[in-house]
Structure 1
Amino acid sequence: MRQPKPEGGYNLRSGLVIYPTQQEAIETLLNKLAQQIPATFILLADVTGQVVSTRGGQGEINTVSLGSLVAGDLAASHEIARLTGQFQEYQLVLREGSTTHTFICEGGQHLAMLVQVSTEVPLGWARMIIRKAAQRLSEIADAPLEANQEAEEMIAELDLDTDDFSTLFSEALDDLWTE
Structure 2
Amino acid sequence: MSGQKEDSYYLRSGLRIYPAQHEAINRLLAELLDKTPAHFILLTDVTGQVVSTAGDQSGINLVSLASLVAGDLAASQEIARLTGQLDAYQMILREGQNAHTFISEAGDHLALLVQISTEVPLGWARMTIRQAARQLAEIVAAPPAREADSPPSELDLAPDSLPDLFDEALGDLWME
Q: Is residue 57 of structure 2 the alignment partner of residue 82 of structure 1?
A: no
Letter in 2 for 1:42: I
| Cα distance, 1:58 vs structure 2 | 1.4
SS of alignment partner, residue 125 of structure 1 = helix
Q: TM (normalized to structure 2)? A: 0.80
What is the aligned-residue identity percentage? 66
Q: Who is 1:139 aligned against?
A: 138
Gaps of 5+ in 2: 148-176
Structural mapping, 1:41-80, within 5 Å = 41-80=40-79
How many corresponding residue pairs?
144
**For 1:146 and 1:67, how far apart are their aligned partners in 2?**
29
Q: Which runs of 5+ in 1 are unaligned?
A: 149-179
- Name the structure 2 match of 1:99: 98
Structure 2 partner of 1:157: none
Runs of 4+ in 1 over 6 A off after TM superposition: none
**1:6 Cα shift?**
2.8
What is the letter of the counterpart of residue 49 of structure 2? Q
- Bigger Cα Rg: 2
Letter in 1 for 2:144: L
TM-score when scaled to structure 1?
A: 0.78
1:19 and 2:22 aligned: no
1:162 aligned residue: none
The two structures, once aligned, show a CA RMSD in angstroms of 1.1
Letter in structure 2 aligned against 1:39: A
